[in-house]
Amino acid sequence: AMWSMLGERPVDMCHWESFGKGWLGDVQSHLKLENVTEFTAGYGELPDLASTNPDHDIVFTWNGTTSGVCVPNADWISDDRTGLTFNDATSAVFAMDIDWSKVDVTTYSWQKVMGGEGAHGMLILSPRAVERLESYTPEGRALPKIFRMTKKGKLDEALFKGATINTPSMICVEDYLDALQWADSVGGLPGLIARSQANLAEVATAVDKYPWLNFLAKDEASRSSTSVCLTVDMEASKLKEMIAWLEAEDVAYDIGAYRDAPDGLRIWCGATVEAEDVALLMEWLAFAYEKFSK
């Protein structure tokens, strides 16, 4: 979407973790856009999003998957904006309340909150985004076939009705349809959000209980309910040993912080996870901390 639409006007790039920073790199190094303003903050914090310009295109991640920090709402996005908002909602859709009137270009992943197959994603366009596609062609920018969303100057609607460029696995599609049926069975979107919030609540209970455990997110309002990131008062080498031990004991897999993030834990608390399992993990963390902090 960025390759097809950015460049028509100045761009505000907002990032506070590694994936958002990657989008900035794409815009500067590959698209080579010049009129770019960077809004950034360190891990655990949000930049001043209200300072973005509604006449610019704005690119941001709804949920920082590697920092555990999400935007608490879309109040900072103007209803009267003339630019487009590009929203990477990979680990937010189906677990967070997104104001769809404020986002023009949204992507998300099958594999995250719904637990579907990796390597598959969705693109959601507002009418304003479609207008941009049909009215703006980036000068001198070659687009690979897989990036092209228009045909003869109009939106290629076949892409949004099941047409494929290459042949993906239809089993993956059936798996995702099954996931959507499961979502209906647990109460639809409100039920999914409630499940993720219940998981976050179990972690918050543990953080309140154990003085050595803390959220990486500085502000409670911006704590992610899916990619929950924690810091542990423990030497990095000991923490690494503890994480490896938990995996060897089949307690928890891949719960170490992302490689670019501060040392700590990253616990997936999306809607497919049961709150009682998160509660059990918190007990295991307490046991492991006593074992490895000595």
Q: If DSSP states are collapsed to H, E and C, what string results for 7-59?
A: CCCCEEEEECCHHHHHHHHHHHHHCCCCCEEEEECCCCCCCCHHHCCCCCEEE
Confidence of residue 269 (pLDDT cuts 50, 70, 90): very high
Question: How far apart, in whole angstroms, are the C-alpha atoms of residue 69 and residue 56?
Answer: 24
Report phi then psi at 54, rounded to 5: -65, -10
Q: What percent of the chain has pLDDT over 90?
A: 86
- Per residue in 196-241, pLDDT (tens digit) is 999 999 999 999 999 999 999 999 999 999 999 999 999 999 999 9
Q: What percent of the chain has pLDDT over 70?
A: 100
Residue 253 has pLDDT above 80, yes or no: yes
- Per residue in 122-148, pLDDT (tens digit) is 999 999 999 999 999 998 888 888 888
Question: How far apart, in whole angstroms, are the C-alpha atoms of residue 23 and residue 117?
Answer: 23
Cβ neighbours of 48 (radius 10 Å): 11
Per the DSSP assignment, residues forming a β-bridge with 63 are 70
Name which of 77, 60, 55 is nearest 9 in CA terms.
Answer: 55
The pTM score is: 0.94
Per the DSSP assignment, residues forming a β-bridge with 232 are 213
Mean pLDDT of the chain: 95
